[in-house]
Amino acid sequence: MSRKYFIAGNWKMNKTPEEGAKLASEIASIVSKDASVDVVICPTFTALDRVSQAIEGSAVKLGAQNLYPKTSGAYTGEISPEMLREVFAKFVILGHSERREYFGESDAFVNEKVKFSLENLINPILCIGETLEQREADETLEVVKTQLLGGLVGVEASQMGSVVVAYEPVWAIGTGKTATPKMAQEVHGSIRALLNEKYGDAVGEKVRILYGGSMKPANAEELLSQKDIDGGLIGGAALDSNSFCDLVAAAKRAP
């Protein structure tokens, strides 16, 4: 089963609108109209509009880093899917470990957001992953299973074409420590098996499963050549157009 590679940049709380537009233009001019890899960039809310304009006409797509599962109303500080659609955002990162850790997001809340984003035509990138403590206690597969199935409660097989999963071992995020390709593939393989079990092979085999956690040009090739690693969710290396586009190029070369 061949799946189209998917490289997403998670800019986190970095880049002003001005800086974001510059970075996005550089990426757009390198990627141009080449859609052989899905390329998505996820700036902060204030930079979305400028970045959206900067990538117009290129194959680069826009994503947000969060949303709130309501249409509108008294939810101070939050953003609705409709507002994201208005600036042409197509994707949203949900359940990132930083949101789970610093903002107390539970699987149930992440699930509400996943369902609401799908109903409102924004494609969720559902992030899951274990902490170092959990890995050392040999709980990785259990944690990943709970977060995956918890995030997908009530999501139908027919909606899974719009869902991307990102496996991000928390201990590898921003630390320079990467899971070895073998370690990552082991978890990706079990995520695939869970998806196949829940939705059937025809659906599960089509879902893109990204790796995230200190992915950079130097380690991308080996990670991307693993059977169930279909791309990357990139933090640090997404803040520079050369390193980010080198990752896109690595995905293009991957088998």
Residue 29 CB-density burial (10 A; 0-12 exposed, 13-18 middle, 19+ buried): middle
Beta pairing partners, 39: 7
* Catalytic residue list contains 168: yes
- The three-state DSSP-derived secondary structure of 11-62 is CCCCCCHHHHHHHHHHHHHHHCCCCCCEEEEECCHHHHHHHHHHHCCCCCEE
Q: Check if the beta carbon of residue 84 is closer than 8 Å to that of residue 116.
A: no
Which of 129, 150, 169, 213 binds ligand PGA (CB under 6 A)? It is 213
Which of 89, 173, 229, 251 binds ligand PGA (CB under 6 A)? It is 173
Q: Does 51 bind ligand PGA (CB under 6 A)?
A: no
Least distance between ligand PGA and beta carbon 72 (Å):
29
In the bound state with ligand PGA, the residue whose beta carbon lies nearer, of 44 and 80, is: 44
Stretch that binds ligand PGA, among 47-55, 72-80, 108-116, 229-237 (CB under 6 A): 229-237
Beta pairing, strands 38-42 & 231-234: unpaired
Task: Measure the CA dihedral 49/52/56/62, to 10°.
Answer: -160
Least distance between ligand PGA and beta carbon 79 (Å):
19
Would you state the structure tokens that stand for residue 100, as one six-digit string?
């789970």
Least distance between ligand PGA and beta carbon 213 (Å):
5
Distance (Å, whole) CA 135 – CA 253: 31
Least distance between ligand PGA and beta carbon 174 (Å):
4
CB atoms within 10 A of CB 14: 16
In the bound state with ligand PGA, the residue whose beta carbon lies nearer, of 53 and 243, is: 243
- Nearest one of 250, 253, 199, 248 to 27, comparing CA atoms: 248
- Nearest one of 253, 245, 254, 217 to 30, comparing CA atoms: 245
User: Binding pattern to ligand PGA, positions 9-48, x when CB under 6 A?
Assistant: -x--------------------------------------
Least distance between ligand PGA and beta carbon 201 (Å):
28
State which H helix or E strand residue 217 sits in: helix 217-224
* Catalytic residue list contains 188: no
User: Binding pattern to ligand PGA, positions 149-168, x when CB under 6 A?
Assistant: -------------------x
> Which parts of 94-123 interact with ligand PGA (CB under 6 A)?
none
Which of 27, 125, 209, 234 binds ligand PGA (CB under 6 A)? It is 234
Q: Which residues bind ligand PGA (CB under 6 A)?
A: 10, 168, 173-174, 212-215, 233-237
The residues annotated as belonging to the active site are 96, 168
